[in-house]
Amino acid sequence: MIAAGLLFWAGIYFFVNSKVVKEQTQIDGDDSIILAGPANHFLNNEGVGGKLYLLNDKIHFKSHRFNAQNHEFKIDLNMIKEVKLYNVLGIIPNGMEIQTTTGSTEKFVVNNRDKWKMAIARIKGE
């Protein structure tokens, strides 16, 4: 049982850090990247895997091709009304919710969610 768990997590680690996934989630504008990391973006009740980027003027998510719903999502920072943190499944402290000025809500699962929230607030001048 423990061996199966270790194999599963090793597989996840190598998948996330694979050259193919890195190439698929690469974006233009590398010089303006402030923060980047693996993330899931919830789209139609699916946690779509990919990479989330914080740039000087926007947040950009790009999925890898191993998802049923491949997509890119971008939002200008001036369109962000509020960033809230939440616990995924009510217990896992890695959820970040972005509420926009148009009333929509985008949910992400990220590592170091506090760091993301503080970086967004700092760039926005809050």
Note the pLDDT tens digit of each residue in 72-120: 889 999 999 999 999 988 898 989 999 999 999 999 999 999 999 999 9
Tally of domains within the chain: 1
pTM above 0.85, yes or no: no
**Domain boundaries, position 43:** 2-124
| 8 A C-beta contact, residue 80 and residue 48 | no
| 8 A C-beta contact, residue 85 and residue 96 | yes
51: domain CATH number is: 2.30.29.30
